[in-house]
Amino acid sequence: MKLYYSPTSPYVRMVRVAALEKGVDGRMELIDARAEGNDTEDKNPLNKVPTMITDDGETLIESRLICRYLDTLGAGPELYPRDPDARRRVAQFEALIHGVMDAAVLRRMETRREEGKQSEWWDQRQKRKIALGLDRLEDDVEAITGAPTIAPITLGCALSFLDRILPDTDWRADHPRLAAWYESFKDTPNMAATAPGD
């Protein structure tokens, strides 16, 4: 398997933690997607990471799809429970956490626009999605983190990402249960092994 990656992408980190959980990380060759002369765009027309090439030569272009694929390999816990009700609940948490991260990315992108062209309206919209999303995650933190599924992996990578790209967002103040859980999760071996080196 080949994984086109960037060291700072939270979406890539989820895939890498999932691969470690499943014990298949050693089978995954990492290719720096942004390195000179790479062919990421040929593999994935969206030119995004993570992008995976499986051993059968199939290309998978989205972290959730890649994590589902990894779950079919190796040993380790069921990242996506086989039971349909439990699976749907995990996928719902996963979708919410991705939505919070997507909003954080959009906020960050907006700051890259020229001063004067940045939209306060847009920023407030994304801020609200992050705040309300975190409120919901705070309410559900036990359900999310009660089993070693993709949900806590996704949550840990997302909270780490928020700290990194939006350091002015003090999410801990209003979300003490999330903060306490994250404190216990952030340095676990698979998180430590994939920490962005910044």
Ligand X SMILES: N[C@@H](CCC(=O)N[C@@H](CS)C(=O)NCC(=O)O)C(=O)O
63 binds ligand X (CB under 6 A): yes
Residue recorded with tokens 């691969």: 19
Q: Within 13 Å, how many C-alpha atoms sit on residue 42's CB side?
A: 3
48 binds ligand X (CB under 6 A): yes
**Please, what is the minimum distance in Å from the beta carbon of residue 120 to ligand X?**
23
**Please, what is the minimum distance in Å from the beta carbon of residue 143 to ligand X?**
22
Contact 108, 166 (CB under 8 A): yes
94 binds ligand X (CB under 6 A): no
Q: Could you tell me which of 38, 31, 94 has the C-alpha nearest to residue 63?
A: 94
Contacting residue, 17, 19, 20, 49, with ligand X by CB under 6 A: 49
Q: With contacts defined by CB under 6 A, name the span among 19-27, 46-54, 85-93, 151-159 that binds ligand X.
A: 46-54
Strand-pairing partners, residue 30, are 3
Residue 193 phi, psi dihedral angles, 5° rounding? -70, -20
Residues that bind ligand X (CB under 6 A): 9, 11, 47-50, 62-64
